[in-house]
Amino acid sequence: MGVSDAEKPQKRSLKPGTMLYPLPAVIISCGNAERSNMLTVAWTSTVCTNPPMVAVSVRPERYSYPMILENMELTVNTTTAAMARATDWVGVRSGRDQDKWAATGLTPVPGRKVSCPYVGESPLVLECKVRRVMPLGSHHMMLAEVVNVLADEALFDPQTDTLELERAGLMSYNHGHYYAQGRELGRFGFSVMKKSTAKRIAAGKKSAKAGAGTNGGASAKSRRKTNKKGTI
């Protein structure tokens, strides 16, 4: 039976605004070995697969803005619940007044493919080169190509050496609030997945968890040897 008009959720019109939530709460780092800074950004998005590109929107009056344009490089650092206070602090304080690295205790680590440092505590880091800057109004959107990805060793399955990003406990931003990632509801394509495939995947996860108890101590070096595609 269909739902009557009276039973349908009622909608209220709001003024136009940036209400597309949730969004990743990330820390953008920029600069170089001599001078660098961080800022918290929620206006980020994936925009292209080949080449891999992301969009980062920043207000031009931000202290970091000219620093990004100077080198045309930045890093996108994902955050976790453990980083919540530092992430918020980085977003409400200016690098003009103090050293954000020292104030938060976050660790600047030299970039591998870019001149700016990345946040050592971030479980997943995208090193990017800015290819285009688009003035849109209050924010300027920076289209940046991902030239390197850095992932914590703890995010890899000890048996298969596959990246399991759900282990990171990434944090999101939703209408002025920060949230830890919740429970899994499904994986891409689960709505059309065959039952036999779903059972095989579930069995594989159960086996991997059981094996982790006996093989969880395998060294990162030994796991990397099994990775035919190379390391990140």
Q: What is the pLDDT of residues 146-161, one digit of tens each?
A: 999 999 999 999 999 9
Asked if residue 185 has pLDDT above 90, the reply is: no
* Count of positions (residues) in the chain: 232
- When mean pLDDT is compared across 55-64, 75-84, 144-153, 174-183, the lowest value belongs to 174-183
Asked if residue 133 has pLDDT above 50, the reply is: yes
pTM listed for this prediction = 0.82
pLDDT of residue 214: 46
- Out of 13-17, 184-188, 217-221, 228-232, the most confident range is 13-17
Asked if residue 191 has pLDDT above 90, the reply is: no
Run of H or E including 183? none
Give the model's confidence band at 231: pLDDT under 50 very low, under 70 low, under 90 confident, else very high. very low
Contact 77, 39 (CB under 8 A): no
What is the DSSP track for 121-168?
A: T-SEEEEEEEEEEEE-SSSEEEEEEEEEEEE-GGGB-TTT--B-GGGG
Give the model's confidence band at 76: pLDDT under 50 very low, under 70 low, under 90 confident, else very high. very high
Give the model's confidence band at 213: pLDDT under 50 very low, under 70 low, under 90 confident, else very high. low
Is CATH 3.40.50.300 the right assignment for the domain spanning 20-232?
A: no
Give the residue from 159, 217, 164, 181 showing the smallest Cα distance to 82: 181
Give the model's confidence band at 83: pLDDT under 50 very low, under 70 low, under 90 confident, else very high. very high
pLDDT of residue 225: 38
C-alpha 196, offset from chain centre: 32
pLDDT of residue 223: 38
Contact 32, 114 (CB under 8 A): no
Spatial separation of the C-alpha atoms in residues 117 and 37, rounded to whole Å: 9
